[in-house]
Amino acid sequence: MSRDFGVRVVMILALAAGAGCAAKPLDRPLPLGDPNTGAGSIAAARKYLEGRWTFVSMEIFPANEAPIKVVGSGTIIYDEFANMDVQVRIEPETAKQFERVGIPVPAGLYTTKGQTQVDMTTRTLRYVLEGEDVVRPVRHPLDIGLPRYWEVDGNTLTLRTKDPKGAVLSVSVWRKQ
C-alpha cells in the first residue's frame, strides 16, 4: 500500500510540474509563407482571370459534323468572387448552326453565368450554379456541366471543353482588356 501511495505522489508531482510549463512560440519560426498565394496558387490564377476579356475566336466540334467557326463578338467578365459571365453575340447563320447541335442562342446571344471553381491540378474551371444538379447529362459542347480547360499565354486565355474520352468539343480564345 505504501508503494501505491508513493507512485501516486510521484505522478501527481509530475503532472503538477508539467502543468506549470507555459507554451511559447518557436524562437525561430519557419519561413513557410502563405500557402494560398504566389505563382501556381488558386489565388494567383483567380487574380489573373479577374477582369474583362474580349472574344477573339471560337470553334465548336460537334460529333460527326463539320466544325462550326463562330462569327461574332463577346466578352467574359470574371470578378473577384470567381463569378464568370460569358456573353457572345453570334451572327444569324452561326446561331442556326448552334441551335442545330443543341446550343441555345436566344436572340443570337450565347450566355453562361455563374460562380466557378478553379482546379490547379487539372487546370480547369467548373461552374457551380445554385439549383443545378451536380451530375446530369451533358446536352451540348458548351454545356456548363463540362469543365473549361484553360491555358494562358500573356494576355491570351484559351478555354476548351472536352468529352469524357478527352476529345475536344470546343475551343475559345479571349484577350484581356
The per-residue pLDDT for 63 is 87
Spatial neighbors of 72 by CB under 8 A, at least 6 apart, are: 55, 58, 88, 89, 90, 91, 94, 110
Asked if residue 3 belongs to a domain, the reply is no
In the chain, which residues have pLDDT < 70? 1-3, 5-7, 9-39, 130-131, 133-136
- 172 lies in a domain? yes
CATH number of residue 125's parent domain: 2.40.128.50
| pLDDT value for 16 | 60
Extract the C-alpha cell encoding 18. 508539467
Q: Report yes or no on 73 lying in a domain.
A: yes
Q: Report pLDDT for 7.
A: 64
Domain enclosing residue 78, as ranges: 42-176
pLDDT tens, residue by residue, 21-54: 555 554 555 454 445 556 678 888 888 899 999 9
Is 171 among the domain residues?
Answer: yes
- Write down the H helix ranges in 1-79: 2-19, 42-49
Q: Answer whether residue 21 is part of any domain.
A: no
Give domain status of residue 100, yes or no. Answer: yes
Structural domain tally of the chain?
1
Residue 3 is predicted with a pLDDT of 67
Q: Using alpha carbons, select from 176, 154, 150 the residue that is nearest to residue 55.
A: 176
pLDDT tens-digit map of 128-138: 876 676 666 78
Confidence at residue 30, expressed as pLDDT on a 0 to 100 scale: 44
Residue 105 DSSP class: -
